[in-house]
Amino acid sequence: MSLKDQIQVDKVPQHVAVIMDGNGRWAKKKGMMRVFGHENGAKAVKEAIEGGSEIGVKFITLYAFSTENWNRPKSEVDKLMQLLVSTLKKELKKLQENNIKLNAIGNIDALPKKARKELLNVIDETKNNSQLTVTLALSYGSREELIKTVKLISDKVKNNIISIENIDESVINNHLYTQNLPDVDLLIRTSGEQRISNFLLWQIAYAELYFTNVLWPDFTKEHMFEAVMNFQNRERRFGKTSEQINK
């Protein structure tokens, strides 16, 4: 039986987030420049999306560029932004064919004009698609997001739109970049690093974490199925006892 056939359809994670890491090391191992790794990383993005879609994942959120990544050499940042534009242009048709909605989180205003324009165009063109929502985290940092959220809510308190007593989890959820997304069920990080790197700190409160040594450009559908299989073998207790869960 193939891996995919072993996946229980009724236990598929609704929201999978991925820290796509290891492009640079992948290229270095091949004696190539880091950008070669990023170019090949784009193929792995397609694999992850197709794999997720095939098994019924409804939300996939991909960490593509962090607020900290702005500190990389300008040539690498420029190349990543160019790749974003060319990939968006190239993949729009495929997104439409597969009924996939594109979404973005992060400080989108910080992106170069060309990238922002192309991104907003694809988001608009795909806004009525409903099979799967793919969210790109671009110029995204969880702390930046939380600061922005605190400011937005404070402003509403100041203007008597929200009272302090009414601030609860849902108020916070509704002011995050991820306001339209459910909590993350499964967080995957490739490349062997076991850290969060400022990604979705609030949203992964109860996510299952899955780390693999696979470098991002080598990631395939099968790796997505493997991660989901692993997820399905865990018991999510949410603070309760195993007996309560299995009652």
Q: How far is the CB of 182 from ligand IPE (least distance, A)?
A: 22
Catalytic annotation on 198?
no
Select the residue interacting with Mg ion from 13, 21, 79, 153 (CB under 5 A).
21
CA proximity to 103, closest of 86, 91, 119: 119
Select the residue interacting with ligand IPE from 13, 23, 141, 142 (CB under 6 A).
23
Residue 25 in the binding site for ligand IPE (CB under 6 A): yes
Residue 210 in the binding site for ligand IPE (CB under 6 A): no
Is residue 175 within 8 Å of 152, Cβ to Cβ? yes
Output phi, psi for 132, to 5 deg. Answer: -155, 145
Catalytic annotation on 10?
no
Nearest to ligand IPE of 175, 223 (CB atom) = 223
Q: How far is the CB of 19 from Mg ion (least distance, A)?
A: 9
d(CA 7, CA 2): 9
Output phi, psi for 47, to 5 deg. Answer: -60, -45
Supply the angle between the helices 34-55 and 221-232 in degrees, to the nearest 10.
50
Is residue 138 within 8 Å of 63, Cβ to Cβ? no
Distances (CA, A) of 31 to 24, 25, 198, 214, 243: 11, 10, 30, 18, 53
Nearest to ligand IPE of 65, 225 (CB atom) = 65
d(CA 61, CA 102): 10
Which residue is at the shortest CB distance from ligand IPE? 24
Which residue is at the shortest CB distance from Mg ion? 21
Catalytic residue among 69, 98, 121, 129: 69
Binding to ligand IPE (CB under 6 A) within 66-105 occurs at 66, 68-69, 80
d(CA 30, CA 186): 30
Residue 63 in the binding site for ligand IPE (CB under 6 A): yes
Residue 141 in the binding site for ligand IPE (CB under 6 A): no
List active site positions: 21, 69
Instruction: Name the site residues for ligand IPE (rule: CB under 6 A).
Output: 19-25, 63-66, 68-69, 80, 191, 193, 195, 197, 216
Instruction: Name the site residues for Mg ion (rule: CB under 5 A).
Output: 21
